[in-house]
Amino acid sequence: MAAVDIGTLKTRFIEKRAVIGIVGLGYVGLPLMLAATAVGFRVIGFDIDEPKVDGLNRGNSPLEHIGHARICRAIDQRLFDATADFRRIGEVDAVLICVPTPLGRHREPDLSYVEGTVESIAPALRAGQLVVLESTTYPGTTTEIVKPRIEARGFTSGRDIFIAYSPEREDPGNRDFETRQIPKVVGGDGRAALELACTLYDQFVVETVPVSSPETAEAVKLTENIFRAVNIALVNELKVVFQKMGIDIFEVVDAAKTKPFGYMPFYPGPGLGGHCIPIDPFYLTWRAKEFGIATKFIELAGEINTSMPAHVVQATAEALDRRSGRGLNGARVLLAGIAYKKNVDDMRESPALVIWALLAARGAIVEYHDPLVPVIPPTREHSDLTGRRSRPLDEATLGAADVVIIVTDHDRLDLASIGRHTGLVIDTRNAMQKLEGETAAEVRPA
């Protein structure tokens, strides 16, 4: 194929005449679509989930924190439509891939979604397109997995098709930082790909940060999430230590963060959740083994964080034993909030599901309440909980529970009702302190 003049494509990006294709219309793809359409780009969204596609085309948002009105606005302006027909990839100028990258059973990277996506789009690709992977992954994925599959269709990267990596940096539910306000790190397979990717993102994000290669950009994303995972592990370990000493870890952190330099606050919890922090560190540990390197620090942090659900269950058992002498066997437990994160409906890798399984294994009768998760969706590791429904947080439900465990402190969680109608509360989030002692319940940390 003849070399492509990138100037024409750059101009289309700058003038917003280009059509953007986004593959994967979830927690990353939908906010990206809204950012692009907000400045006038036309976006075609691709997803293999046909019911989701049909719903989006009717203006229905599948995500709690993204309102229907925003989807409808993009549709009404004729800037967005969704499809499951990957043959339409030929209609777009840029393809942004936003698909999951989970872990396998043995904590190995599962790139099946990335590989499947590239195989699906490759037959419809044409010369003069930009292809950007946004999914979090290990260094080398873009050039070793994505690039060869595209070039196998007769393209040459950097000559007639352009390949780059720009990691998503979404924080679902964070109202202070939406996609357009978060700088985009960009690494291209060659100068032309880098230039094109930066030009595209420059049109709808506050800043682009070019780096020397896709591998560097992939490493940036892992570094960001490993930083969080390690610091959360540290404060989780301190929580366990300080509890034995009768010291409140939340009070410690709040006092420590008054130091204006050399410290930033991280808070303990019942375990890690979401698609990034529990998973991304292990992408690097797996990749490092190929280079004969053991990532001991990262793996230790992972062990501490994954031990937190068991810590919560043990704290609950001990509290019940002290209160009634019965322990967990036969106890009625209500989990308050089961999404992985406050104020979102995302159940991916939620520690609540692990806590549920551990409680059930010890004979507890478990139910849950979550104002954002009315029904538990299918999950990879806890399929037996699929379809379980949220209980109302009323006097009858709370009165029947021997203990309430606050796992996720949504703003819509009625803490006052929990405090009035519950005898024992295990608070993993320090949420009950908002009531300033106005509660009849015995509240214990975990």
Give me the active site residues, please.
Answer: 276
Number of other CB atoms surrounding residue 241 within 10 Å: 10
CA distances from 291 to 284, 287, 288, 367 (A): 11, 7, 5, 46
Contact 341, 172 (CB under 8 A): yes
How far apart CA 428 and CA 409 sit, in angstroms, is 9
- Residue in the structure block whose two tokens are 């800043």: 207
Q: How many helices (H) and strands (E) does the chain have?
A: 16, 13
Give the number of other CB atoms < 10 A from CB of residue 294.
10
Residue 83: C-alpha distances to residues 37, 48, 122, 204, 299 (Å): 17, 8, 17, 23, 40
Between the CA of residue 172 and those of 30, 150, 168, what are the distances in Å?
11, 31, 11
DSSP 93-158: SEEEE-----B-TTS-B--HHHHHHHHHHGGG--TTEEEEE-S---TTHIIIIIHHHHHTTT--BT
- Tally the C-alpha atoms within 13 A of residue 172's C-alpha that lie toward its C-beta: 24
C-alpha separations of 394 from 20, 338, 387 in Å = 47, 17, 21
Cα separation, 274 vs 278, in Å, equals 7
434: three-class secondary structure by DSSP:
helix
Distance in angstroms (rounded) separating the CA atoms of residues 161 and 150 = 9
- The C-alpha atoms of residue 408 and residue 3 are separated, in whole angstroms, by 53
Q: Sort 3 into a burial class: Cβ within 10 Å, 0-12 / 13-18 / 19+.
A: exposed
Check if the beta carbon of residue 403 is closer than 8 Å to that of residue 380. Answer: no
Residue 135 contacts residue 29 (beta carbons within 8 Å): no
Cα 107 to the center of its chain, rounded Å: 17
* DSSP state string for 272-321: --SSSTTTHHHHHHHHHHTTT---HHHHHHHHHHHTHHHHHHHHHHHHHH
